[in-house]
């Protein structure tokens, strides 16, 4: 009877979670980072994808998951559904398999990570919760399911570079336990495959920072002030703000977790510490912090506490997790309210205007390719492409290894008017012509300011 009640309660929790997040998803417009993936896999062949994606600084898994849907010319909403489905899988695994109490499980589900950032914003991060939770469940069963365990590590390593340190630590422990200690010949092969896979990802992405203008402009700061600012940015991205209270709670959570793991299991402590150092290094030296990247730090904490959770410490661990994730709930509610009320990006509305009012073969100049991808993603393939002077070509997706200066007055306008009877100009990122009235202008309530557009028509 007790199991039946628990099963029913879990079903209700997951059903409510699925319905709510799907409802939120239906009211979300694709923005630049989401659009980029779809356009890359839609408009390039396999070799082109392999060549381009390394300049994005990301592994390939999410691109190849999405590719079949884009190649079939399905609407971009299919990518959003796939993203939502993977997060729903992660939520289900957490609720049904994790050792924490119900309060902490629900606390994780109502955090801004699970209510908004992961299910609503369609990016490779959606794969991380389900794979991390699956690894937590498999950790003590890895001798029974070594192939599944190793495969899951490889898949997780292919989601995002932010998870690479965690996967490397898991690989080291797998090697130590199964090859050094037990000398299991079958697992020697699996370990070799695992490290070769990690090496392959490293070689694929090695040097990609030299081909990505965004990474090149990132300025590391290894001073005490810079490190403290990195910490405040992690808290800000987790909770929507940084203050003394959430800063202390986050620090206490990480510190208590570290001490507890050191006492309980040195190998899990090694995994935790390796990941903490690695992700901190990424935030300090390589990439800016985003909410999804910050939450990856907490998901690794959940993994570690999951593997050492026992009945006598279950409630203490659950309280630690619950308090930390609950701090993000107000920010999640704010984000959802804004997204329901206002367009996240005006790409969709702008694309609809273009389809209705501008000929398919029209010459359209763009001032900034990064912020026009949300328009291109809602336009049919090979129609209404934009021209960017720095590329000296038409484009749909952003090419990261070419200069992308923001132009407030597209230079080739005069030259192109000599070639074309009519030239259209799409301006984004706050650019506009002072003395010319646009034929289309985004409303002021668009949440992503750089994805508000003005379209102008110039005739010879």
Give Cα 23 to chain centroid, integer Å.
20
User: Quick check: 7 and 95 in contact, CB under 8 A?
Assistant: no
User: Quick check: 109 and 115 in contact, CB under 8 A?
Assistant: yes
Q: Are residues 227 and 108 in the same domain?
A: yes
The DSSP annotation for 438-450 comes to -SEE--TT-SSGG
pLDDT of 89-143, one tens digit each? Answer: 999 999 999 999 999 999 999 999 999 999 999 999 999 999 999 999 999 999 8
Handedness of CA 6, 12, 15, 19 (dihedral sign): negative
Q: Are residues 443 and 308 in the same domain?
A: no
The angle that helices 77-97 and 32-43 make with each other, rounded to 10 degrees, is 110
- pLDDT at position 120 is 97
Q: Are residues 141 and 248 in the same domain?
A: yes
Q: Are residues 71 and 141 in the same domain?
A: yes
Name the least confident of 121-130, 266-275, 313-322.
313-322
Domain final residue, candidates 283, 317, 340: 340
CA-closest candidate to residue 424, choices 370, 359, 372, 343: 359
Q: Are residues 358 and 317 in the same domain?
A: no
Give percent above pLDDT 90 in the chain.
Answer: 71
Residue-number span of the structural domain to which 444 is assigned: 347-459
pLDDT of 192-244, one tens digit each? Answer: 999 999 999 888 887 655 555 455 455 667 777 878 888 999 999 999 999 99
**Cα separation values, 118 from 278, 318, 404, 407, 441, Å:** 22, 22, 28, 33, 30
| Angstrom distance (rounded) from CA 348 to CA 109 | 29
Q: Are residues 277 and 404 in the same domain?
A: no
Structure tokens at 337: 């309210």
Structure tokens at 424: 């259209």
Domain final residue, candidates 340, 359, 388: 340
| Angstrom distance (rounded) from CA 115 to CA 109 | 7
Name the least confident of 29-33, 50-54, 119-123, 260-264.
50-54
Q: Are residues 241 and 357 in the same domain?
A: no
Domain final residue, candidates 340, 361, 393: 340
Provide the number of structural domains found in the chain: 2
Q: Are residues 105 and 225 in the same domain?
A: yes
pTM greater than 0.85 (yes/no): yes
Q: Are residues 305 and 395 in the same domain?
A: no
Which stretch of DSSP H or E encloses residue 457?
strand 454-459
Between β-strands 422-427 and 454-459, what pairing exists: parallel, antiparallel or unpaired?
A: antiparallel
Q: Are residues 214 and 259 in the same domain?
A: yes
């Amino acid at each position: 009877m007790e199991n039946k009640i628990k099963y029913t309660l879990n079903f209700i929790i997951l059903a409510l979670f699925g319905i709510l997040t799907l409802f939120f998803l239906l009211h979300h417009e694709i923005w630049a980072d989401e659009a980029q993936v779809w356009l890359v896999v839609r408009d390039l062949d396999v070799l082109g994808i392999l060549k381009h994606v390394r300049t994005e600084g990301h592994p390939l898994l999410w691109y190849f998951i999405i590719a079949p849907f884009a190649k079939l010319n399905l609407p971009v909403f299919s990518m959003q559904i796939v993203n939502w489905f993977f997060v729903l899988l992660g939520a289900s695994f957490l609720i049904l398999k994790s050792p924490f109490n119900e309060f902490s499980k629900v606390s994780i589900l109502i955090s801004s990570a699970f209510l908004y950032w992961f299910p609503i914003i369609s990016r490779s991060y959606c794969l991380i919760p389900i794979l991390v939770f699956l690894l937590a469940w498999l950790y003590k069963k890895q001798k029974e399911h070594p192939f599944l365990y190793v495969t899951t590590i490889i898949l997780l390593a292919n989601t995002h570079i932010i998870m690479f340190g965690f996967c490397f630590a898991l690989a080291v422990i797998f090697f130590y336990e199964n090859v050094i200690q037990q000398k299991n010949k079958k697992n020697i092969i699996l370990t070799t495959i695992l490290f070769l896979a990690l090496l392959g990802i490293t070689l694929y992405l090695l040097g990609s920072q030299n081909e990505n203008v965004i990474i090149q402009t990132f300025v590391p700061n290894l001073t005490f002030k810079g490190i403290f600012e990195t910490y405040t940015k992690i808290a800000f991205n987790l909770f929507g703000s940084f203050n003394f209270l959430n800063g202390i709670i986050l620090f206490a959570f990480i510190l208590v977790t570290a001490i507890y793991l050191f006492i309980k299991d040195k190998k899990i402590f090694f995994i935790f510490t390796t990941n903490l150092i690695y992700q901190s290094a990424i935030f300090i030296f390589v990439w800016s912090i985003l909410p999804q990247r910050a939450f990856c730090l907490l998901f690794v904490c959940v993994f570690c506490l999951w593997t050492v959770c026992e009945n006598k410490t279950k409630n203490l661990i659950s309280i630690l997790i619950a308090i930390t994730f609950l701090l993000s709930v107000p920010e999640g509610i704010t984000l959802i309210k804004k997204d329901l009320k206002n367009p996240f990006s005006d790409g969709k509305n702008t694309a609809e205007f273009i389809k209705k009012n501008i000929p398919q073969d029209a010459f359209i100049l763009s001032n900034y390719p990064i912020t026009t991808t949300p328009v291109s993603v809602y336009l049919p393939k090979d129609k209404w492409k934009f021209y960017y002077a720095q590329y000296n070509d038409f484009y749909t997706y952003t090419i990261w290894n070419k200069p992308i200066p923001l132009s407030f007055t597209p230079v080739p306008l005069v030259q192109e008017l000599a070639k074309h009877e009519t030239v259209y100009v799409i301006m984004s990122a706050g650019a506009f012509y002072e003395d010319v009235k646009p034929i289309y202008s985004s409303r002021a309530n668009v949440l992503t300011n750089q994805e508000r557009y003005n379209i102008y028509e110039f005739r010879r």
